[in-house]
Amino acid sequence: MEATEVLMAEHRVIERLLTSLEAGAARVDAGQPMRPGFFIEATDFIKGFADGCHHRKEEGVLFTAMVDNGLPRESGPVAVMLAEHEQGRVYTRGLRAAALRLEAGDASAAAEVTANARSYTALLRQHIYKEDNILFPMADQVIPRAAQARVSEGFEHVEHEETGEGVHEKYLALADALEREVAGM
């Protein structure tokens, strides 16, 4: 299905951010200088792209279509994915709060920054694996071909009406900048 291919392509962008976030956390753990704003900007990416666009497509369109075609929302794969999205939001809020404290001069927040960064990246790496290899193939099977076009249309609506034009480009540029920052150190 075209819609799941779109989501998998977005996963590759999210994985780039995860790699940068892991590298940034490793620098902090090694006592190397790392700009606190790096982590704040990473949470901007997570909130704006991973959660604000990507998860919105999954939760509001794909998962709904899967439920409409027989999968339960309160148990099974859809429920697991929704719970993991919420756990990711908890880690993102913790990362942002700790990075803001670090930026304000609270050196003790560094451990909280790295703990939240590592927890988020570990969660998202296994989450993406499950979606790419289990959930999306399942969606391709349970959503009838006639309904798959509506899923793609729903994605377009999220992309252009709900999140706005240029969102992908903005966050791709941010992912690029964060990659360059950790690579250049």
pLDDT digit string, tens, across residues 45-67: 999 999 888 989 999 999 999 99
pLDDT tens across 78-130, in order? Answer: 999 999 999 999 999 999 999 999 999 999 999 999 999 999 999 999 999 99
| CATH number of the domain residue 161 falls in | 1.20.120.520
Q: Average pLDDT, stretch 10-19?
A: 96
- The whole domain housing 90 covers 2-183
For every residue of 82-132, DSSP letters joined together read HHHHHHHHHHHHHHHHHHHHHHTT-GGGHHHHHHHHHHHHHHHHHHHHHII
Is pLDDT at 164 greater than 70 in this prediction? no
Instruction: State both tokens at 65.
Output: 């279509």
Contact assessment for residue 76 and residue 153, using Cβ atoms and an 8 Å cutoff: no
Q: Which tokens in the block code for residue 54?
A: 């990507």
CA distances from 26 to 19, 23, 111, 144 (A): 11, 5, 11, 45
The number of domains in the chain is 1
Cβ atoms 144, 69 nearer than 8 A: yes
- Residue 128 near residue 28 (C-beta atoms within 8 A): no
